[in-house]
Amino acid sequence: MNYQFYNEDCFDRMSKMPKGSVDLILTDIPYGITYQNKDWDKFEDYKAFLIKLLSNFKQIVKDDGAIWMFCAPTMFNTVDQAISECGLINHYDFWKSIQRQKGRGAKSKPKSQREDILLITKSNKFIFNNISDIFKYDETVTNTLDITIGEVQRPIFNINDKVFYFKMPYYLSKTEKMFHSCQKSILLLYSLIVNFSNKGDTVFDPFAGSGSCGISTLLADRNFIGCELDADMYKKALSWKESFNFETYKKVFIKDISNE
């Protein structure tokens, strides 16, 4: 598969990309909440940034393509307004959230325990493969309390559920070490890629960070285009991809769905 990863501003890269050249955009955008006082999350006009970003997405994604975009729950209304103003569709029925192992600390307010993922498309006709039984390893998801019966259960992943329970990367993990503060689970991203694109398609991540989307894309036999502006993080992401044992990871975690 083709892997293109650039240390550059995503808007510069998108200006060079042909119209309708991407099948799936999967990205964890800046949330506009001044996260940990990071410069990349500070905006004078966050809505204007979103409109510029989504307008570019609309140009490069195919008519039957999809955009999966993480966002902060507190910014949902602003994100939703920008989606509408760009003439895109926000699929509330596919609105997901991921539960983190630990909430992020806050001195002046309760901890946030979740992040939301929005499905955005150009029309109501988009690729959806509805593959749910794709993982081998029982610990890819976190056990959770089922309040209806008062017992701890291992949830069965279903694309139509409202919550993902995938374990997130953390610093001491032996299988997926965390080296970016906003890093997302490979298998979480993989599940979206296989359900909303086909083999050989092109996946684009304009805010690639740790490069987990690129690894997930290659695991799913898709082509990847990514951008990361921070030079140090870009080098770390490249190094992780080069050292990643794709075949072993597939054998341990992912079922063979090639004949399904």
SS3 117: strand
Output the pTM of the full model. 0.85
Give me the tens of pLDDT residue by residue for the chain, a chain 260 residues long: 999 999 999 999 999 999 999 999 999 999 887 665 667 668 889 999 999 999 999 999 999 999 999 988 888 999 999 999 999 999 987 776 665 555 555 566 565 666 788 999 999 999 999 887 788 765 555 555 555 566 655 555 555 555 555 666 655 566 677 777 677 888 889 989 999 999 999 999 999 999 999 999 999 999 999 999 999 999 999 999 999 999 999 998 888 876 54
Copy the structure tokens of residue 171: 């610093």
Residue 52 tokens, joined: 């510029």
Query: Which residues, in sequence order, are bridge partners of residue 113?
Result: none
| Backbone φ and ψ of 188, nearest 5° | -60, -50
Give the three-class secondary structure for 155. coil
Instruction: Return the bridge partners of 152, or none.
Output: 145
Which residue in 241, 248, 245 sits closest to 210, CA to CA? 241
Angle at 140 between CA 248 and CA 230, to 5 degrees: 75
What architecture is domain 3-253?
Answer: 3-Layer(aba) Sandwich (3.40)
What mean pLDDT is reported for the chain? Answer: 83
Alpha carbons 234 and 8: distance in angstroms, whole number: 9
CA 245 to chain centre: 21
- Map tokens 């909440």 to a residue: 33
